[in-house]
Structure 1
């Protein structure tokens, strides 16, 4: 089956299957072995080398979705981020990172990079001019995340890629929030696409995983470090992830539709002070998002007006789960200051514009009217007396 000539849902369903040659089953068999033969075999398989039958097959699905030559699966999103970064950065090197990033990624840079002698600069804004100003003679990597977590800011992918190529710099993007359903950075010039596969790839809030897609050459460089760091994923979880990704296109498109409807509803709500969603025409980066995304995603954030108690709002929710992580089929909400960005100082959060009252909303696939009903009753109960 030629990957370039088939549709998204067909890729999700069929690419990266493990063929059941013995029993002709309809789904991929699961190979749980941690020990394989080394003589008279084409491939010497070892779980830590990311090449067991299930690991190898799932990598093909991720690569097909991101339109790249190769991919590699990790034990978590941060394993994917850290291994990718350290594979291309060494003592004396410099990296430029956008100023709006997932808290775990930012904490990795702030807490660990000085130990390796790696220099770093966070941009002042997401304007490509600030990326250009931050580049040094020893800059090896530019790292972006768009839409950003949790304020859904948009970075111009094409401009950053063009700038990097002009300066012979490797580009990496955290494509988790968009997913390949909504955004294909590799087709816009980005070298390496990184995912917390826990999120939209998994989609059911029951696995922890990471993924990286890139050229075969770049994936090999990441693999060389990855095999030493040991961030591989168990084959049972690989099998669950491959099963979950069969419905990726269907799930994400439904979440796109719900999120756009909810964003429009909340923007007009008398109790809501601000809504952050790139699909809103009021969003500062709406036109840019429209030019590089095929869908606006299932994530949004909003702030209630001061007369409402955010903590009481969370406790008053009935169907929507006040829960960490995101992108499951069920709607969830959280406070970034208490979860995803809790590792940052209040000053660092303030620089990113993350207020204590910000609510990050991962929109699920439930009926829109039921989601709205739950939000409204929680808002009503959370009004300060």
Structure 2
């Protein structure tokens, strides 16, 4: 058996393109949108996801997630929507985890009814809740773990086993964990999805997505993808391949910082609750330990009642109040106003997302500097109350 390369070796070398002309150390960039069709082994076309840079990056993505093949999309939502529609049609049904990224929930509630596709949301993230929702026409089971923004953890292996038992395709949004911390294919999941905008890009300057699976499952996704047209420009593909070289190093630093800051916030008298699977107080801590290699760079928290979360974010000097997540810089936002703003207030409440919840994407800065910033902002909020 061929020895599997280590994480940072995969990040640096898998899928790289050889510069045969100049022997450069990095993959050359092929910007052409028009390729020969006579006398060539493969007819290349950007919308068919097979330009040289797309193919090279897909190999790296597949290696990172221990999958057979991958496809690169223009956004995480393009990866999610295309993959879902590749396996369901009118009259089919999908079981979804109850705690999902707001954009995914909006896709389901806004679009599925138009196509005659049924769906159910689980009551909670426990495996039994998923099995309860399976119907005769169910085709796909979809999970997200850790979830956005409350960091609930779902048992990946159990969901994969339930899916196989019922002959269903299992899908996971693995964005929050990243391939560094979690590899769902190793636990039996069929299709792994990422918003590559986040940890894979890591510098807040790339919009992309990816799906990783077996060759057979990827072919089904490709057949839908070429019609939906969610491909990515080769310049951004090249940028993403470059960014992935430091993925392991960045995420390791973010893991370490997030754990330290979660522990710090948990002991702050003006913080009511902290959501982070790396804390022993987290209800899913033991499950997270069993399926994650690190606990990630994302956490959420709530201030004590009476403290203004908006004012708190305004008083931060180092941590940015900003959309999106997983960049090298630390950012915060209010999910009710951003990532989950598309959900109705009652839907957010049902997921446990209150208006005072703050989501914290921890970067690679020195943790002492981040702690100092949190302390001074908390003090400022106390003064103003």
What's the TM-score once normalised by structure 2's chain length? 0.99
Aligned ranges 1:90-239 → 2 under 5 Å: 90-239=89-238
Distance 1:211 1:4, change over 3 A: farther
Distance 1:4 1:76, change over 3 A: farther
What is the CA distance between 1:333 and its match in structure 2? 0.3
Aligned ranges 1:209-358 → 2 under 5 Å: 209-358=208-357
Distance in structure 1 (CA, Å) of the matches to 2:323 and 2:330: 11
Contact persistence 1:3–1:64 (CA under 8 A): no
Distance 1:228 1:267, change over 3 A: same
Residue 115 of structure 2 is aligned to residue 78 of structure 1: no
Distance in structure 2 (CA, Å) of the matches to 1:74 and 1:367: 33
Distance 1:333 1:163, change over 3 A: same
Distance in structure 1 (CA, Å) of the matches to 2:121 and 2:220: 25
What is the CA distance between 1:4 and its match in structure 2? 4.3
What is the CA distance between 1:262 and its match in structure 2? 0.4
**SS of corresponding position for 1:81:** helix
Distance 1:345 1:3, change over 3 A: farther
**SS of corresponding position for 2:274:** strand
**SS of corresponding position for 2:151:** coil
What is the CA distance between 1:306 and its match in structure 2? 1.3
Q: Deviations over 1:258-313 (max 9, x none)?
A: 00000011001111000000000000000000000010000000000112111111
Distance in structure 2 (CA, Å) of the matches to 1:265 and 1:318: 18
What is the CA distance between 1:5 and its match in structure 2? 2.5
**SS of corresponding position for 1:91:** coil
Query: RMSD between aligned alpha carbons?
Result: 0.8
Runs of 4+ in 1 over 2 A off after TM superposition: 2-5
Distance in structure 1 (CA, Å) of the matches to 2:255 and 2:9: 19
Specify every segment of 5 or more residues in structure 2 that has no aligned partner in the other structure, as ranges. Answer: none
Distance 1:25 1:349, change over 3 A: same
Match of 2:58 in 1: 59
Distance 1:3 1:205, change over 3 A: farther
**SS of corresponding position for 2:112:** helix
Distance in structure 1 (CA, Å) of the matches to 2:153 and 2:130: 14
Distance in structure 1 (CA, Å) of the matches to 2:117 and 2:361: 34
Q: How many residues align?
A: 384
**SS of corresponding position for 1:5:** coil
Contact persistence 1:3–1:11 (CA under 8 A): no
Distance in structure 1 (CA, Å) of the matches to 2:46 and 2:381: 50
Distance 1:3 1:55, change over 3 A: farther
Distance in structure 1 (CA, Å) of the matches to 2:231 and 2:3: 28
Distance in structure 2 (CA, Å) of the matches to 1:223 and 1:5: 27
Distance in structure 1 (CA, Å) of the matches to 2:307 and 2:376: 13
Distance in structure 2 (CA, Å) of the matches to 1:238 and 1:68: 19
Contact persistence 1:100–1:148 (CA under 8 A): yes
**SS of corresponding position for 2:193:** strand
**SS of corresponding position for 2:58:** helix
What's the TM-score once normalised by structure 1's chain length? 0.99
Residue 361 of structure 2 is aligned to residue 362 of structure 1: yes
What is the CA distance between 1:324 and its match in structure 2? 0.4
What is the CA distance between 1:3 and its match in structure 2? 7.5
Distance in structure 2 (CA, Å) of the matches to 1:125 and 1:105: 17
Distance in structure 1 (CA, Å) of the matches to 2:3 and 2:99: 33
